[in-house]
Amino acid sequence: MSVAVLRRAARETLSGLPREFWWLWTSTLVNRLGAFVATFMALYLTLDRGYSASYAGLVASLLGLGGVVSSLGGGVMADRLGRRPTLLVAQTSTAASVALLGFVEHPVAIAGVAFLVGMASNASRPAVQAMMADIVRPEDRVRAFSLNYWAINLGFAVSSMAAGFIAEVSYRAGFLLEAGMTLVCAVVVFLKLPESRPEREEKAVPEDGVGLGAVLRDGRFMSVVGLSFLVAFVFQQGAVGLPVAMGAAGFTPADYGMAIAVNGVLIVALQIPVTRFIEHRDPRRLLVVSSVLAGYGFGLTAFAGSVGVFALTVCVWTLAEIVNAPTQTGLVVRLSPTHGRGRYQGMYTLSWAVASLVAPVMSGFVIDRFGAEWLWGMCAVVGTAAGAGYAVLMRRLPEEGEGEGRGEGEGEIEVAETVLGEKAGAAAEPAASAV
């Protein structure tokens, strides 16, 4: 492939997105580059503080529980207060709570602050996704979400490597460094990102936008949330079931590290080119294929007997992840009314937060009671069921931009009466004119 072809591909991938998107993307990248605490939390509690593995697991669960609580709260804040205020509150709160976590010593205090960290850090996700949907044209959203997902994984890959070196110097330095970088994200939002929440037409939408009750009554969307939970449960096994199963089979933590590292490397290398391939393809087919591929990618783990084969199975389900992540997020936007994007994104985020709580318990029970082979077989079944669900639910899926602007209480997807170009302009106008 020539240099000219690569340049053209890069230009087509990166061009056409608004300046506000790139500042939001930069904030995401900085945030993930500083995500040290989640990487070394278990080591900090067991090695540095001397607590048991059970206590470390409890703290990890409380961190996840905080994320479950704030998923919906962050979405409501994004719709009521606005995307920008929600991001500022969430990021400054995250910085403060992470810094505090580096200084508290009592086990109850550590557990309580960890819960606050989970709440604060997860509250920004619905606002980020809603703001991205506000400022990016419908036809560019899959590409935008893919670039954001790429930034998340690139930042996480770098921070994971750096976390080990930082921990050797000082765990507390890691907490403070993450807090400082999170504050940098808040500064970027404050200085460079205007409010993007679309203005409501008088009498068209209630003052508080679309209520949570309307989201829960949206049968098609809640079915998608349920399917998202199934897919998330499968993907969680890369961090939950896979290390336990490899350890039980006699492999070392280093072996697991080598196998799972393939996931991050492939995402960084393939996310952008794969997105160019799938950007304008049928999302229904993409979600069906990625769900089944994820299920059977983990299912193949039952036949793995060496690190190399484990790495090959990681390649399979990582490809599914690369396709699924931006497509799924774009689907959520397509099914969300304009003035309820925060709540809808919050409900979608909740599906992943709940999966992160359920997966460790469920996978541990299955492995202990029946063996790892049953867990991988269950993943294949769950992935197949999710694929079949997407195939049924996404019939007559509206085109990009259709269904936006629905009011409270509308549970079915309706074709918007406004021309798509006018809708995109109306959504972009507040972002350009806000202070």
User: pLDDT by residue (tens digit) across 62-118?
Assistant: 888 888 888 888 888 988 889 999 999 999 999 999 999 989 989 999 999 999 998
Statement to judge: residues 170 and 225 lie in one domain: no
Q: Does 41 or 321 have the greater pLDDT score? A: 321
Statement to judge: residues 366 and 264 lie in one domain: yes
> At residue 52, does pLDDT exceed 50?
yes
What is the Cα 242 distance to its own chain's centre?
20
d(CA 227, CA 97): 33
Which residue in the block uniquely carries the two structure tokens 């804040």? 77
> At residue 306, does pLDDT exceed 80?
yes
37-41, 203-207, 401-405, 410-414, range with greatest mean pLDDT? 37-41
* pLDDT of res. 116: 93
pLDDT band at 422 (very low <50, low <70, confident <90, very high): very low
* pLDDT of res. 109: 94
> At residue 423, does pLDDT exceed 90?
no
- Rounded mean pLDDT, 6-31: 82
- Please provide the average confidence, as pLDDT, over all residues in the chain: 81
* pLDDT of res. 427: 36
Statement to judge: residues 159 and 218 lie in one domain: no
Which residue in the block uniquely carries the two structure tokens 């997407």? 390
pLDDT band at 19 (very low <50, low <70, confident <90, very high): very high
Statement to judge: residues 254 and 304 lie in one domain: yes
Statement to judge: residues 125 and 264 lie in one domain: no
Are 74 and 125 in contact by the 8 Å Cβ rule? The answer is yes
pLDDT tens-digit profile of 119-152? 998 888 889 988 998 999 888 888 888 888 888 8
- Rounded mean pLDDT, 236-255: 83
| Residue 423 falls inside a structural domain | no
* pLDDT of res. 216: 85
Q: Does 380 or 51 have the greater pLDDT score? A: 380
| Residue 427 falls inside a structural domain | no
* pLDDT of res. 415: 31
Residue 304: HSE in the Cβ half-sphere, 13 Å Cα cutoff:
30
Nearest partner of 403 among 142, 220, 281, judged by Cα: 220
* pLDDT of res. 405: 44
pLDDT band at 3 (very low <50, low <70, confident <90, very high): low
* pLDDT of res. 204: 46
Which residue in the block uniquely carries the two structure tokens 């074709």? 415
Statement to judge: residues 191 and 217 lie in one domain: no
Statement to judge: residues 222 and 357 lie in one domain: yes
pLDDT band at 248 (very low <50, low <70, confident <90, very high): confident
> At residue 409, does pLDDT exceed 50?
no
Burial 38-71 (b: 16+ CB within 10 A, else e): bbbbeebbeeeeebeeebbebbbbbbbbbbbbbb
pLDDT band at 406 (very low <50, low <70, confident <90, very high): very low
Are 360 and 233 in contact by the 8 Å Cβ rule? The answer is no
Query: Which amino acid, 335?
Result: L
Q: Does 16 or 209 have the greater pLDDT score? A: 16
> At residue 305, does pLDDT exceed 60?
yes
Statement to judge: residues 273 and 356 lie in one domain: yes
d(CA 115, CA 97): 9
pLDDT tens-digit profile of 180-234? 999 999 999 999 999 988 876 544 444 445 677 888 888 888 999 999 999 999 9
| Residue 304 falls inside a structural domain | yes
* pLDDT of res. 210: 66
* pLDDT of res. 316: 95
| Residue 14 falls inside a structural domain | no
> At residue 266, does pLDDT exceed 80?
yes
* pLDDT of res. 2: 57
227: containing domain: 211-416
Number of domains present in the structure of the chain: 2
CATH number at residue 169: 1.20.1250.20
* pLDDT of res. 270: 86
Q: Does 358 or 21 have the greater pLDDT score? A: 21
Statement to judge: residues 225 and 371 lie in one domain: yes
| Residue 139 falls inside a structural domain | yes
Q: Which of 235-244, 399-408, 426-435 has the lowest mean pLDDT?
A: 426-435
> At residue 250, does pLDDT exceed 90?
no
d(CA 64, CA 285): 31
d(CA 248, CA 227): 30
Statement to judge: residues 277 and 157 lie in one domain: no
* pLDDT of res. 56: 79
* pLDDT of res. 209: 54
> At residue 53, does pLDDT exceed 50?
yes
pLDDT band at 7 (very low <50, low <70, confident <90, very high): low
Percent of the chain with pLDDT over 70: 85
Percent of the chain with pLDDT over 90: 30
| Residue 28 falls inside a structural domain | yes
Domain boundary among 197, 227, 254: 197
CA dist list (Å): 190 to 1, 70, 134, 174, 184: 42, 22, 17, 24, 10
| Residue 2 falls inside a structural domain | no
Statement to judge: residues 96 and 46 lie in one domain: yes
Statement to judge: residues 183 and 251 lie in one domain: no
| Residue 202 falls inside a structural domain | no
